[in-house]
Amino acid sequence: MKVKKRNWFARQLESEQFTTKQIIGMLIPLILDQLFIYMIGLLTTSMISSSGEDSVTAVSLVTPVVTLITAVFTALSSGGAIVVAQYKGHGDREKLQEAIGQTIWICVILAVVLNGLIAAFASPLVNLLFGAAEEGSREKATLYLAGMAINTIVHSMRVATSAGLRGVGDIKHNLFGSILINVSYFIFCYIFINLLQWDIVGTLVAYFLARFLGLLSSLYFLFFQKNSQVHIRLSQMLKPKLTYLKSIWKLGIPFCAEEVFFNGGAILASAYMVFLGTVSVAAHAIANSIFSTLYAPTMAVGILATTVIGQCIGAGRRDLAQWYGKKLILRGYGVALISLIAMLPMLSWIISLYQPQAETQSLVYQLLAIGIAGMILFWPVSNIMPSVLRAAGDAYFTTVASLIAMWVFRVGMGYVISIPMGYGIRGIWY
């Protein structure tokens, strides 16, 4: 009897470790997850714009600081996800569960300490970084920073539980949590910002309630799904175990340092961006919000790479890790192209959601044109390759490369082109 040959599609990503169906089954929920996150962010930013450009400016100025805070926990949890993925590849269920519990422990402890300090010193921090901004924008920025610091304590625990699910390839439960968070965030924002007119406070309350619901869903999957491989005991989360913490720390700290210095550069860029005026800052905020939705699907491929490469390394198959790394980078370019083709026809309508002034709208189009050109050429490899290398245990090269790119180009050349050379906000995007 003849054996039926596998079709072309089935052969593309199939190996002894994964089938093409498994890879696609993880990738599609990840793409939907990332799209939900960034599209809801886009819609809520457009809601905030209804409160005036000073609100948009305040959120835009503080966003790099908030991103820096959350990046610390994203980095540590990514280290945890890699450890979990490696234990999954090795087939050690007990250690896999211990690694999830320890990832949660370290993220929560650090969140309480770090965010408590930031909330307490929000006002002097905003005045130090953005003292040249208008007084109304500074006041709103202070409130937003303090509120987001407190909210991030809840977010850090959600990120850690999500990393555990992602490490074993349980993308569907992660997607459920993400949909719950983002849909509820959108609904709460509509209630508190559009209906009740709470402005920045409405954003903070909506964020807290949505993240709390997401956290509850993650905890349910971890503690009450007893047949699941990610089911953990409370003792595995409450008691620190140095063996696991060292592994998480070793993989997470280089990524964490990269995120700190990278976002530190973004904060510095925001600090000199203030001198370009409210119109430029508002245009940057709107363009950045839209652009993040464009590259969200490619971000999903990078997240998938962490799981796939980590499990290959855990199984001792470095050859497969290398093979999948190349395959996923190439697929990333295809995903980026599809994303652009799908979104570009809607661009004019999306920009209109923000109700920008004519001058701001024209500038938004210019910034997006610059960003899209770079995205087509460089974004997939610059986003996916670091995930591949980190999952294989090489976090140091990616950190050094990222920091050089940030401080030489985004901060250094960004300042020179935007201010001394007179290109304004376009210089930062160049």
Cα angle 352, 147, 141 (rounded to 5 degrees) comes to 55
pLDDT of residue 237: 67
Sign of CA dihedral 400, 377, 363, 286: negative
Sign of CA dihedral 394, 93, 89, 307: negative
Which residue is associated with the tokens 């030489």? 408
Q: If pLDDT is split at 50, 70 and 90, which confidence band does 10 have? A: low
Q: If pLDDT is split at 50, 70 and 90, which confidence band does 9 have? A: low
Percent of residues, the chain, with pLDDT higher than 70? 87
| Those residues with Cβ within 8 angstroms of residue 302's Cβ, 6 or more apart along the chain or in another chain | 332, 383, 384, 386, 387
Percent of residues, the chain, with pLDDT higher than 90? 3
Taking 3-state DSSP, the helix, strand and coil percentages for the chain, each rounded to the nearest 5, stand at: 85, 0, 15
Long-range contacts of 9-17 (CB under 8 A, 24+ apart): 12/327, 13/324, 13/327, 15/320, 15/323, 15/324, 16/317, 16/320, 17/89, 17/311, 17/312, 17/315, 17/317, 17/320
- Over residues 356-371, the mean pLDDT reads 88
User: When comparing pLDDT for 36 and 374, which is higher?
Assistant: 374
What is the spatial distance between Cα 129 and Cα 131, in angstroms, rounded to a whole number? 6
pLDDT of residue 7: 59
Cβ count within 10 A of residue 135: 8
pLDDT of residue 1: 35
Long-range contacts of 338-342 (CB under 8 A, 24+ apart): 338/297, 339/294, 339/295, 339/296, 339/297, 339/298, 340/294, 340/372, 340/375, 340/376
pLDDT of 382 higher than 70: yes
Cβ count within 10 A of residue 220: 13
- Over residues 363-372, the mean pLDDT reads 91
Q: What is the mean pLDDT of the chain?
A: 80
pLDDT of residue 165: 74
pLDDT of residue 274: 76
pLDDT of 36 higher than 90: no
What is the spatial distance between Cα 178 and Cα 197, in angstroms, rounded to a whole number? 26
pLDDT of 153 higher than 70: yes
pLDDT of 114 higher than 80: yes
What is the spatial distance between Cα 430 and Cα 421, in angstroms, rounded to a whole number? 12
User: When comparing pLDDT for 225 and 331, which is higher?
Assistant: 331
Q: If pLDDT is split at 50, 70 and 90, which confidence band does 53 have? A: low
What is the spatial distance between Cα 416 and Cα 410, in angstroms, rounded to a whole number? 10
pLDDT of residue 365: 92
pLDDT of 367 higher than 90: yes
Cβ count within 10 A of residue 398: 18
Encode pLDDT of 301-328 as tens digits.
Answer: 988 888 888 888 888 888 888 898 888 9
Encode pLDDT of 73-85 as tens digits.
Answer: 777 777 777 777 7
Q: If pLDDT is split at 50, 70 and 90, which confidence band does 228 have? A: low
pLDDT of residue 4: 45
